């Protein structure tokens, strides 16, 4: 008797599950199907249904998804917003959008018209879509636990005002942004008030402003992404608990372009990244308690610019190779530590052969100090005077911060 | 042939030439003599157009030489110190001068042969002794058979044999009716050469006389003695 | 005129200092290109050498050469030649032969390692710089009779254009830090052929992005065809003007 009582709830759960499967249907949409357009299919669909869309060109104005369905394209059917509409609005939990080519959303300076927009929902999955010429690409507001994966997002605007962001998340939590490639937008990936999220293996290049831009977004991880050739690089502001691992920041040349801009960032961790060919590899302002290790800084104008407002930055075991200037700073107060880095400009010696140089290395050159104070002095870049100043300063330091030095410079590349 | 009238030249405070007038004619061989700094070289340079007088005019065959350069094709000049670009060979120097003067000239290469320069044509100027360089200078001055020869201390640095050859050459030119101007310290050398003497001191032309006049005045046959005699006289006159 | 130039050029090209200069440029250029793993980095290092050594050798060698040719020039003046011809021949001879040795010393390595627009611009400015500093040397020499003094003046001029000028610019930049000086600086660079050449070449390289706002303003000017032409003309003026002034002086000069 007792045993029977225990079995009954199990059956109950099973029967609900069974009913779920029994009631879920697959609705086909296409020229030769019952439903010629997606709008009508959506109207008759119920939670759990799959709407399967054949290849074709669909002008549906705005699609609003209010049920927990799987919307799946077969061979990339085109959803055309005719430069007027927001193409898909997700207003249900657990929706999956998979395999569409979404083109020509409207452009508006009042609303953030998007290719796909998630409104206050959770567990939404947007994957394998191609977005072209959308104002905003994939937009999440108040989302949580959503996955945005393997989408290709391309825009063609020439000016920032004409363009929104590729992947835009606002007030969201536990997001997963994985394997997308974004180019030509204002910002490739944009986070504002987004927490506990991961950005992994994305490719963000040739965006007008930032490859990645986030503010007030705490405890997020950025892993193995590739940011190159963006107007101003990557910008990270007003956040704490940021973890950046194994990313590549490359080819951000230009006035005010940075590989990585850190502003008011605390308690963060930057490891194993490569900063190559940027005007400034990392620019830090008001940052504190940041650990930077095993990063590569190569061929940058400035490998690192640390403003005097930064403190407790620990820079250790990094490689600095053929940068024009290694470190630039604007003040004399130094509350940061440099240890065990490899600097290719180091010309000290190692008598006891422990692979650690016996005299400290000063990564700040006098000329970089002058330029920091007076930017037009860049006019004298690579002049004889500039190199003369640097040489004298090396012998008798006066202008450069006394305490900004690596006491244990490595004799060989660390990795 | 050359007429200078009232030429003056100052270098700073130093009066190098002070109101000098003179006339030199064909067939004459004129010795320009005087102590160091008396203005001999300045006078020569003025005639050659290297120094432009502050005032006065110099005429060459009746034409003012100021701003003119063509007249110099009729002058052969041998400088006191001959220095040439280090890496030119003797041959280069002659070739260049021939290029400058143009092909129409009749060349007088007698001195080149006499001095044995033909065999040294490939030698670089910097490897040459001072004497050899003087030989080159002398040969250059006579090369184009010019109407006027201006020789600045021609025998200084030359060995006696070469010196003698040069003198013969000068006499020969004089006989041909050329005008020869020579400056020299060594008066004894000029004895057989000159027909006239110009004596300069502190930028002034003290006298310009023919050799015969000098002899008549002083009764001395040697030029050096004759000059000394004249100098004594003039200084006497000044003192009185 | 060509008659003299030919001989002057051949004389200078055989000069020991010029041979050493050519060899030095050649050796440095090759070692720079083979040491730097990146050719455009090599070009940057070469730029520093060019901007320092080329003016130095051009100005001092020319000064010494002209002083040493004093007697030779007297001899030339005694020939049926215009003084202008002699002076211009001497200038051309110096400029041509030093340019030839620059072209051999820097040109060959550049053509081998960096045969592109930047390399060509660098060769062009190098030749213009050579010619400008020969011209400046001639002006200095014609104005100073004494050899030791004249060579001293030449060295000072080189110091002025290589360092002092930039020092003054830096000083002015700090004095007037509150004013937007970028545009004015374009005009200022015209007064120093070395700075002008340096900026012209730097703006062709991608390091120009580092020059920040200043660089952007400069690129707006020097990056355009008009700007390039203007600065080339200014560089040419740096040859033409001193040559013209010195010729005027030389015509009247007492030798």
Task: Express each pLDDT in A239-290 by its tens digit.
Answer: 999 999 999 999 888 777 889 999 999 999 999 999 998 888 999 999 999 9
Token pair 């107060």 is at which residue? A333
Chain B: list its partners (3+ Cβ pairs within 8 Å).
C
Tokens linked to C171: 């000083």
Q: What distance in Å separates the CA atoms of residue A95 and residue A195, rounded to the nearest whole number?
A: 21
Question: What are residue B56's phi and psi, to 5 degrees?
Answer: 90, 165
Residue B8 CA: distances (Å) to CA of B16, B53, B198, C252: 7, 6, 17, 16
Q: Is the Cα dihedral A200, A203, A208, A211 positive or negative?
A: positive
Rg, Å, chain B Cα set: 18
Task: Answer yes or no: is pLDDT of A160 > 80.
Answer: no
Beta strands in chain B (DSSP E): 2-11, 14-24, 29-33, 55-60, 63-64, 75-78, 148-152, 179-183, 196-201, 204-210
Chain C residues close to A373, C-beta within 8 Å: 174, 177
Say which residue, A75 or A347, is predicted with more confidence: A75
Intra-chain end-to-end CA distance of chain A, in Å: 69
CB-based contact A382 C48, cutoff 8 Å: yes
Name all domains of chain B by residue range, CATH numbers in brackets: 2-80+148-239 (3.40.50.300)
DSSP state letter for C43: H
| Under 8 Å between Cβ of A185 and A162 | no
Q: Please give the residue of chain B at the shortest CA–CA distance from C18.
A: B87
3-state secondary structure of A167: strand
The verdict on C198 touching A (C-beta cutoff 8 Å) is yes
Q: In angstroms, how far is CA B117 from the centroid of its own chain? A: 22
Mutate to test the interface with B, among C13, C19, C78 (most CBs of B within 10 A): C78
Tokens linked to C219: 């690129």
Q: Please give the residue of chain A at the shortest CA–CA distance from C163.
A: A385
Task: Answer yes or no: is pLDDT of A83 > 70.
Answer: yes
- Among A376, A382, A271, which residue's Cα sits nearest to residue A325? A382
pLDDT value of position B221: 79
Exposed (0-12), middle (13-18) or buried (19+): which is B237, by Cβ within 10 Å?
exposed
Tokens linked to B3: 């007429």
Task: Answer yes or no: is pLDDT of A367 > 90.
Answer: no
Exposed (0-12), middle (13-18) or buried (19+): which is C206, by Cβ within 10 Å?
middle
**Residue burial A137-153, b: 16+ Cβ < 10 Å; e: rest:** bbbbbebbbbbbbbbbb
Chain B residues close to C255, C-beta within 8 Å: 45, 50-51
Mutate to test the interface with C, among A233, A345, A375, A379 (most CBs of C within 10 A): A379
Distance in Å, alpha carbon of A373 to nearest chain C alpha carbon: 9
C209 pLDDT tier (thresholds 50, 70, 90) = low
Long-range CB pairs of A44-47 (<8 Å, 24+ gap) are A45/A69, A47/A92
Least confident of A52-66, A194-208, B177-191, C124-138: B177-191
Of residues C51, C202, C206, nearest to A384 (C-beta) = C51
Distance in Å, alpha carbon of A212 to nearest chain C alpha carbon: 21
When pLDDT is averaged across residues A184-210 and rounded to a whole number, the result is 94
| Under 8 Å between Cβ of B39 and B11 | no
pLDDT value of position A279: 86
pLDDT value of position A3: 45
Q: In angstroms, how far apart are the furthest CA atoms of chain C? A: 61
Contacts of residue A78, Cβ cutoff 8 Å, sequence gap at least 6: A56, A57, A58, A100, A101, A102, A103
CB-based contact A384 C52, cutoff 8 Å: yes
The DSSP H or E segment spanning A10 is helix A2-23
Task: Answer yes or no: is pLDDT of C242 > 90.
Answer: yes
Q: What distance in Å separates the CA atoms of residue A260 and residue A300, rounded to the nearest whole number?
A: 12
Question: What are residue B15's phi and psi, to 5 degrees?
Answer: -85, 105
Torsion-angle region of C242 (φ positive above 0: left; ψ -120 to 50: alpha; else: beta): alpha
Chain A: list its partners (3+ Cβ pairs within 8 Å).
C
When pLDDT is averaged across residues A125-148 and rounded to a whole number, the result is 95
pLDDT value of position C13: 92
Mean pLDDT of chain A: 89
Task: Answer yes or no: is pLDDT of C207 > 50.
Answer: yes
pLDDT value of position A20: 47
Chain B residues close to C8, C-beta within 8 Å: 85
Tokens linked to C130: 């050579």
CB-based contact B82 C75, cutoff 8 Å: yes
The verdict on C166 touching A (C-beta cutoff 8 Å) is yes
Q: In angstroms, how far is CA B238 from the centroid of its own chain? A: 30
Token pair 């007297």 is at which residue? C74
- A325-329/A302-306 β-pairing: parallel
Question: What are residue A176's phi and psi, to 5 degrees?
Answer: -125, 115
Q: What distance in Å separates the CA atoms of residue B158 and residue B186, rounded to the nearest whole number?
A: 13
Chain C residues close to A324, C-beta within 8 Å: 207, 210
Task: Answer yes or no: is pLDDT of A1 > 50.
Answer: no
Mean pLDDT of chain C: 89
Write the pLDDT tens digit of every residue in C67-118.
999 889 988 998 988 999 999 999 999 999 999 999 999 999 999 988 888 8
A58 pLDDT tier (thresholds 50, 70, 90) = very high
When pLDDT is averaged across residues A130-154 and rounded to a whole number, the result is 95
Residue B96 CA: distances (Å) to CA of B89, B141, C8, C12: 11, 14, 10, 15
Rg, Å, chain C Cα set: 19
Tokens linked to A61: 């104005």
Chain B residues close to C68, C-beta within 8 Å: 83, 86
The verdict on C104 touching A (C-beta cutoff 8 Å) is no
- Among C25, C2, C47, C27, which residue's Cα sits nearest to residue C100? C25
**∠A227-A229-A233 over CA atoms, to 5°?**
60
Say which residue, A334 or A189, is predicted with more confidence: A189
Q: What distance in Å separates the CA atoms of residue A322 and residue A325, rounded to the nearest whole number?
A: 9
When pLDDT is averaged across residues C50-64 and rounded to a whole number, the result is 94
Dihedral Cα A291, A295, A300, A303, nearest 10 deg: 30
Mutate to test the interface with B, among C10, C84, C254, C255 (most CBs of B within 10 A): C254
Q: What distance in Å separates the CA atoms of residue B122 and residue B118, rounded to the nearest whole number?
A: 9
| Under 8 Å between Cβ of A140 and A119 | no
Mutate to test the interface with C, among B72, B81, B85 (most CBs of C within 10 A): B85
Question: What are residue A244's phi and psi, to 5 degrees?
Answer: -120, 115
**∠A301-A306-A307 over CA atoms, to 5°?**
120
Give me the total of CB pairs closer than 8 Å, taking one residue from chain B and one from chain C: 85
**∠A304-A308-A312 over CA atoms, to 5°?**
80
3-state secondary structure of A66: coil
Intra-chain end-to-end CA distance of chain B, in Å: 38
Q: Please give the residue of chain A at the shortest CA–CA distance from C209.
A: A254
Distance in Å, alpha carbon of C30 to nearest chain B alpha carbon: 29
pLDDT value of position A7: 54
- Among A154, A119, A112, A149, which residue's Cα sits nearest to residue A133? A154
**Residue burial A262-283, b: 16+ Cβ < 10 Å; e: rest:** bbbbbbbebbebbbbbbbbbbb
Say which residue, B54 or A11, is predicted with more confidence: B54
Contacts of residue A386, Cβ cutoff 8 Å, sequence gap at least 6: A367, A380, C166
CB-based contact A379 C51, cutoff 8 Å: no
CB atoms within 10 A of CB A219: 16
3-state secondary structure of C222: helix
pLDDT value of position B181: 92
Say which residue, B99 or C130, is predicted with more confidence: C130
CB atoms within 10 A of CB A359: 13
Chain B residues close to C70, C-beta within 8 Å: 83
Whether chains C and B touch (3+ CB pairs under 8 A) is answered by yes
Of residues C189, C202, C213, nearest to A382 (C-beta) = C202
Write the pLDDT tens digit of every residue in C145-170.
899 999 999 999 999 999 999 999 99
Chain B residues close to C4, C-beta within 8 Å: 96, 100
The ipTM estimated for the assembled molecules is 0.88
Dihedral Cα A244, A248, A251, A254, nearest 10 deg: 0
Q: What distance in Å separates the CA atoms of residue C115 and residue A40, rounded to the nearest whole number?
A: 64
The DSSP H or E segment spanning C130 is helix C117-143
Q: What is the pLDDT along chain B (240 residues), one digit of tens a residue?
A: 889 989 999 888 888 888 889 898 888 899 988 888 888 888 988 998 888 899 999 999 888 888 888 899 899 999 888 889 888 999 999 999 988 888 766 788 889 998 989 899 999 998 998 889 999 999 999 999 899 999 988 888 888 899 899 999 999 988 898 999 998 877 777 878 888 889 888 888 888 888 888 888 888 878 888 888 877 777 676 665
Chain A residues close to C215, C-beta within 8 Å: 255, 378
Contacts of residue B214, Cβ cutoff 8 Å, sequence gap at least 6: B197, B220, B223, B226, B227, B230
Name all domains of chain A by residue range, CATH numbers in brackets: 23-155+166-188 (2.160.20.10)
For chain C, what percent of residues have pLDDT higher than 70? 96
Torsion-angle region of C212 (φ positive above 0: left; ψ -120 to 50: alpha; else: beta): left
Tokens linked to C101: 């040795």
Q: What distance in Å separates the CA atoms of residue A114 and residue A164, rounded to the nearest whole number?
A: 8
| Under 8 Å between Cβ of A381 and C202 | yes
Write the pLDDT tens digit of every residue in A353-362.
999 999 999 8
3-state secondary structure of C51: helix
pLDDT value of position C167: 92
Chain A residues close to C38, C-beta within 8 Å: 299, 322
Q: What distance in Å separates the CA atoms of residue A38 and residue A166, rounded to the nearest whole number?
A: 25
Q: What distance in Å separates the CA atoms of residue A39 and residue C159, rounded to the nearest whole number?
A: 79
A10 pLDDT tier (thresholds 50, 70, 90) = low
């Amino acid at each position: 008797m007792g045993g029977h009582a225990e079995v009954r709830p199990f059956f109950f759960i099973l029967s609900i599950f069974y009913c779920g499967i029994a009631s879920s249907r697959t609705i086909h949409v296409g020229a030769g199907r019952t439903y010629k357009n997606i709008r009508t299919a959506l109207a008759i669909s119920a939670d759990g249904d799959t709407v399967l869309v054949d290849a074709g060109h669909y002008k549906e104005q705005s699609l609003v998804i209010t049920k927990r369905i799987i919307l799946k394209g077969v061979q990339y059917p085109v959803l055309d917003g005719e430069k007027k509409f927001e193409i898909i609005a997700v207003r249900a939990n657990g929706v999956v959008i998979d395999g569409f080519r979404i083109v020509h959303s409207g452009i508006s300076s009042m609303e953030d018209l998007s290719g796909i927009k998630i409104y206050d929902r959770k567990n939404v999955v947007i994957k394998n879509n191609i977005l072209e010429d959308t104002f905003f690409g994939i937009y999440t507001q108040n989302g949580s636990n959503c996955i945005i994966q393997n989408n290709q997002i391309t825009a063609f605007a020439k000016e920032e005002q004409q363009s929104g962001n590729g992947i835009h998340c606002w007030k969201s939590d536990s997001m997963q942004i994985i394997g997308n490639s974004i180019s030509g937008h204002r910002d490739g990936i944009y986070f504002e008030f987004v927490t506990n999220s991961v950005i992994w293996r994305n490719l963000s290049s040739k965006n007008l402003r930032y490859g990645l831009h986030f503010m007030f977004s705490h405890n997020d991880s950025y892993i193995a992404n590739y940011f190159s050739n963006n107007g101003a690089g990557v910008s990270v502001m007003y956040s704490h608990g940021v973890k950046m691992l194994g990313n590549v920041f490359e080819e951000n040349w230009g006035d005010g372009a940075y590989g990585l801009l850190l502003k008011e960032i605390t308690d963060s961790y930057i490891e194993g990244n490569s900063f190559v060919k940027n005007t400034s590899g990392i620019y830090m302002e008001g940052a504190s308690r940041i650990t930077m290790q095993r990063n590569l800084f190569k061929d940058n104008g400035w490998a690192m610019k640390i403003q005097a407002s930064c403190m407790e930055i620990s820079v250790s075991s990094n490689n600095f190779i053929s940068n024009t200037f290694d470190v630039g700073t604007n003040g004399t107060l130094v509350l940061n530590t440099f240890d065990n880095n490899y600097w290719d400009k180091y010309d000290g010696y190692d008598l006891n052969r422990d692979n650690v140089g016996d005299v400290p290395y000063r990564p700040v050159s006098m000329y970089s100090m002058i330029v920091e104070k007076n930017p037009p002095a860049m006019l004298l870049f690579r002049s004889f005077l500039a190199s003369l100043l640097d040489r004298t300063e090396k012998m008798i330091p006066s202008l450069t911060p006394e305490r900004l030095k690596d006491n244990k410079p490595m004799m060989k590349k660390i990795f | 042939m050359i007429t200078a009238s009232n030429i003056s030249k100052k270098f700073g405070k130093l009066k190098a030439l002070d109101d000098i007038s003179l006339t030199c004619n064909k067939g004459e061989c004129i010795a320009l003599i005087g102590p160091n700094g008396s203005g001999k070289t300045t006078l020569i340079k003025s005639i050659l157009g290297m120094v432009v007088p502050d005032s006065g005019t110099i005429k060459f065959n009746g034409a003012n030489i100021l701003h003119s350069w063509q007249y110099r094709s009729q002058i052969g000049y041998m400088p006191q110190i001959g220095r040439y670009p280090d890496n030119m060979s003797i041959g280069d120097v002659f070739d260049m001068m021939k290029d400058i003067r143009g092909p129409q000239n009749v060349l007088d290469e007698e001195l080149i042969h006499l001095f044995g320069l033909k065999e040294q044509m490939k030698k670089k100027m910097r490897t040459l002794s001072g004497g050899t360089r003087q030989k080159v200078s002398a040969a250059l001055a006579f090369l184009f058979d010019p109407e006027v020869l201006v020789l600045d201390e021609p025998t200084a640095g030359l060995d006696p044999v070469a010196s003698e050859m040069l003198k013969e050459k000068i006499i020969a030119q004089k006989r041909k009716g050329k005008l020869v101007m020579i400056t020299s310290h060594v008066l004894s050398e000029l004895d057989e050469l000159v027909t006239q003497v110009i004596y300069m001191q502190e930028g002034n032309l003290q006298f310009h006389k023919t050799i015969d006049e000098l002899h008549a005045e002083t009764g001395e046959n040697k030029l050096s003695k004759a000059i000394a005699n004249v100098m004594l006289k003039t200084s006497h006159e000044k003192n009185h | 005129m060509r008659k003299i130039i030919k001989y002057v050029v051949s004389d200078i090209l055989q000069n020991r200092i010029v041979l050493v200069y050519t060899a030095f440029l050649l050796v440095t250029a090759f070692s720079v290109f083979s040491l730097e793993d990146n050719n455009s980095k090599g070009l940057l290092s070469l730029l520093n050498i060019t901007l320092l050594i080329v003016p130095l050798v051009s100005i001092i060698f020319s000064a010494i050469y002209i002083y040493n040719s004093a007697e030779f020039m007297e001899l030339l003046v005694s020939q049926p030649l215009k003084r202008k011809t002699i002076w211009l021949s001497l200038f051309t001879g110096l400029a041509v032969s030093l340019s030839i040795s620059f072209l051999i010393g820097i040109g060959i390595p550049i053509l081998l390692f960096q045969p592109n627009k930047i390399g060509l611009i660098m060769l062009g400015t190098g030749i213009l710089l050579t010619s400008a500093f020969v011209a400046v040397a001639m002006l200095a020499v014609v104005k100073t009779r004494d050899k030791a003094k004249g060579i001293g003046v030449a060295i000072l001029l080189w110091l002025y254009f290589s360092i002092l000028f930039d020092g003054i610019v830096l000083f002015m930049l700090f004095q007037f830090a509150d004013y937007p000086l970028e545009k004015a600086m374009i005009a200022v660079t015209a007064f120093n052929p070395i700075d002008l050449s340096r900026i012209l070449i730097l703006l062709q390289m991608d390091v120009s992005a580092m020059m920040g706002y200043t660089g952007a303003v400069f690129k707006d000017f020097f990056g355009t065809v008009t700007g390039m032409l203007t600065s080339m003309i200014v560089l040419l003026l740096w040859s033409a003007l001193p040559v013209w002034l010195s010729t005027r002086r030389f015509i009247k000069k007492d030798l």
